[in-house]
Amino acid sequence: EDAERISSADVAVVQERRRVLEDWYNWREVMEEELAEERAHLGLPADPVEELLKAKAAEVAPNGEEQVIE
């Protein structure tokens, strides 16, 4: 009887965690979609920094050529 009570409590805990986990990922999905839409609407690249890093790399090594340091 004790074992049964414990296991039903465990089941409740696990079910609650399953629900909390699903809630979280559902919210993330909605938020990420919304953010992607907003970025697209503003004409911004999906990753705000990627372009900046490319520009910086181009400055360090123009035309994509690697600099040779002797």
Partner 1 sequence: MRPVLLAGHERALTQIKYNREGDIIFSTAKDQHICAWFAHNGERLGTYHGHQGAIWTVDVDPTSTIIASGSADNTIRLWEVKTGKLLKTWDFPTAVKRVEFNEDGTKLLGVTEKRMGHLGTIVVLDIKVDPEAEQSDEKVMTIVCEESKATVAGWSYLSKYIIAGHEDGSVSQYDGKTGDLIYNVNVHELGSPITDLQWNQDRTYFITASKDKTAKLITAKELEVLKTYVADTPLNSAAITPKKEFVILGGGQAAMDVTTTSARQGKFEARFYHKIFEEEIGRVRGHFGPLNTVAADPTGKGYASGGEDGYVRVHLFDKGYFDFNYEVERERQNRLAAQGGN
Burial class (CB in 10 A: 0-12, 13-18, 19+), 39: middle
Q: Is 44 in the site for partner 1 (CB under 8 A)?
A: yes
With CB under 8 A as the contact rule, the residue among 9, 11, 12, 14 that binds partner 1 is 14
Q: Is 40 in the site for partner 1 (CB under 8 A)?
A: no
**Closer CB to partner 1, 1 or 41, in the complex:** 41
Q: Which secondary structure element, helix H or strand E, spans residue 18, and what is its range? A: helix 2-41
Could you please report the per-residue DSSP string of 52-70?
HHHHHHHHHSGGGPPPPP-
Residues at the interface with partner 1 (CB under 8 A): 14, 17-18, 20-21, 24-25, 27, 31-32, 35, 38-39, 42, 44, 48-49, 52-53, 56
